[in-house]
Amino acid sequence: QADPRCFIASAAYGSPLSRHVDIFRWARDRFLMATKIGRSFVEFYYTHSEPLANTIREHKSLQYLFRGLLFVPAVGLYTLREGIAHPLLALLCFLGLGGAVYGLRRRFL
């Protein structure tokens, strides 16, 4: 069974059942978990993102901010899932998201 965690997207969209969160889980399971580097990224994400997600849940303004930050990766991953985009797009989306998570975590936590 796939790992249901997706801390930041779940906090931003208000529920782990959101269709937006499902797109990120799909990309994680399909692309990131398929490689050693991807698995390392996922491990980094799980190690560092839960405290940030808790902060996002507590502040409505941060939920809106993160929905905006996640918009481009979500659209890119959606097009990838539907067979419209190239897999390199998923890697770029997650690398950018990882950098944003790390930078915001250092700033707010």
Rounded to whole angstroms, the Cα distance separating 34 from 30 reads 7
H or E stretch covering 98: helix 87-108
Rounded to whole angstroms, the Cα distance separating 58 from 53 reads 9
Mean pLDDT by 10 residues, the chain (109 residues): 78 89 88 90 91 93 88 75 69 68 65
Residue 5 to residues 10, 83, 87: CA-CA distances in angstroms?
A: 8, 24, 22
pLDDT of residue 27: 85
3-state secondary structure of 22: helix
Q: pTM value?
A: 0.67
Alpha helices for 5-35 (secondary structure H): 7-13, 19-30
Alpha helices for 7-85 (secondary structure H): 7-13, 19-30, 36-58, 60-81
pLDDT of residue 11: 93
